[in-house]
Amino acid sequence: MTENGSTYDLVIVGAGPAGLCAALYAGRGMLKAITIERGPPGGELLNTDLIEDYIGFESIKGWELARQFAEHAKKFGADIVTDTVERIRKAPDGLFDVVTARERVFRAPAVILTAGGTPVKLGVPGEKEYAGKGVSYCAVCDGAFFKGEVLAVVGGGDAAVEEADYLTRYASKVYIVHRRDQLRASKILQERAFANPKIEMVWNKRVLEIVGDSRTVKHLALEETTTGARSQLAVGGVFVFIGFKPNTGIVEGHVKHDAGGYFITDERMMTSIPGLFAAGDVRSQLTRQITTAVGDATTAAIAVEKYLAALRQDD
């Protein structure tokens, strides 16, 4: 930190599963590391009700796994500060400046970016207007506000199908509105949704508008993707799960990325900027699971140790 003149070996940006796992390994590697997280540790785990696909934990609440991850990382010396990282840039002296909203600058020769992503928006009229008034991007956070309501979930991936199932605890009915006639979600989640009597699929429909009164959402204006036929779906709320956009914009300078903006890394998880590593949801890869996030983070933290050792040899 520049305030007291000290620098770190490693700055970890984000404290979701990837960030906490990187912090644990950095601690075990005796690196002087700091982890910066804007909210409570846990990342997407805190927006997930039940985790059933993290090996060794048959079924565990998202918040409970987050708590265990954070405790475990702290046991190995993880130092987690609450602040929002606004910029990461490589200075001419080769160190990264990690600049936060509270105007602190953390300096290190290596950074692991594990900042996750933000939900993709539909970009239709009504979405912004009714955000927090019937439009939501987090079932765990907002589901309980919709007791007895008819809801729509938009999307066809793991998140949409899993969260639709979760929402049936509160809602009287949940429509899954998908733009194709096939789900992208994993088979086990699909089967669970198809077996849930409160879930009804609305295939081949695009949302044109979210319509409501002065208070809340009343219906969705839909368009059939093949025929263009218009229809309305009466709902009291809509949950949008159409993917994530990686939080990679905080890095200054060009970093190799894929079409979705996810950072491309080598087998060490290093990006095209030497010393900048990426793990979890910010990284270009086939799937984004807790297991893949912690796998990335393990590789990245161990690679950082080797990277720093090589830098010292060059000096």
Let me know if 141 is a catalytic residue. yes
Distance CA(186)–CA(89), nearest Å, equals 38
Under the criterion CB under 6 A, does residue 156 sit at the interface with ligand NAP?
Answer: yes
DSSP string, 75-138: HTT--EEE--EEEEEE-TTSPEEEEETTS-EEEESEEEE---EEEPP---TTTTTTBTTTEES-
Minimum CB distance to ligand NAP smaller for 146 or for 241: 241
| Total residues at interface with ligand NAP (CB under 6 A) | 20
Clarify whether 21 is annotated catalytic.
no
Active-site residue, 138 included: yes
Strands 33-37 and 10-13: parallel
Residue 255 to residue 89: CA distance in whole angstroms: 11
Q: Considering only residues 7-66, where is the footprint of ligand NAP by CB under 6 A?
A: 53
244 in contact with ligand NAP (CB under 6 A): yes
Residue 33 pairs with which residues in a beta bridge? Answer: 10
In the complex, what is the shortest distance from the CB of residue 120 to ligand NAP, in angstroms, rounded to a whole number?
6
Q: Does 242 bind ligand NAP (CB under 6 A)?
A: yes
Phi, psi of 44 (to 5 degrees): -65, -20
Q: Which of 83, 138, 181, 315 is catalytic?
A: 138
Among 140, 160, 201, 222, binds ligand NAP (CB under 6 A): 160
**Phi/psi of residue 303, nearest 5 degrees:** -65, -35
| Region near ligand NAP per CB under 6 A, out of 63-71, 190-198, 272-280, 286-294 | 286-294
* Candidate list 17, 27, 41, 155; residue touching ligand NAP; CB under 6 A: 155
Instruction: Decide: is 243 part of the binding site for ligand NAP (CB under 6 A).
Output: yes
Q: Output the smallest distance, CB 241 to ligand NAP, in A.
A: 5
Catalytic residue among 9, 83, 142, 281: 142
Q: Reading across the β-sheet that carries 105-108, which strands appear in turn?
A: 85-90, 96-100, 105-108
User: Collapsing DSSP states into helix, strand and coil, what is residue 250?
Assistant: coil
* 165 interacts with ligand NAP by CB under 6 A: no
CA quadruple 250, 81, 100, 89: dihedral positive or negative? Answer: negative
The site string for ligand NAP over 185-224 (x = CB under 6 A, - otherwise) reads ----------------------------------------
Question: From CA 309, how far away is CA 56, in angstroms rounded?
Answer: 34
Q: Which residues form the catalytic set?
A: 138, 141-142
The footprint of ligand NAP (CB under 6 A) covers: 53, 122, 154-160, 162, 179-180, 184, 241-244, 287-289
